[in-house]
Structure 1
């Protein structure tokens, strides 16, 4: 059985992981949303992502794709 990679992960921990890995500039080129482009911060991005389902889904999909491609 394949466990859900998002289980037990907060949106903040997912976003922090992606920002630490990619940085805001590269993250904004992968996922084109203004909160990653214009004066980005974890808090402002979390506010946007919590109320915007399509954007949160893109962040979650990138996180899953990224952790699956990382060596164990």
Structure 2
């Protein structure tokens, strides 16, 4: 596996990131207040969110940025 020392999310799966944020913020409703994207507001699920975030770079960046801000030690 290629090392990426400047990428703090290297090796971190997107589903793990979402699950950790859901646990920290206490569910979809609270997470949707932090990041206002429809996949967290309208009938949210892990599967639908992953599908949307994998196709939508700007939304994925918002999720990754929130993760880094929430868990700066990562």
TM-score by length of 1: 0.86
Unaligned runs of 5+ in 2: none
CA displacement 1:15-61 (0-9 Å, x = unmatched): 11111111111110111011100111100000000000000000000
TM-score by length of 2: 0.84
Greater helix share, structure number: 1
How do 1:46-57 and structure 2 match up within 5 A? 46-57=50-61
Question: How large is the Cα RMSD of the aligned pairs?
Answer: 1.4
Q: Which runs of 4+ in 1 moved over 2 A?
A: 2-5
Unaligned runs of 5+ in 1: none
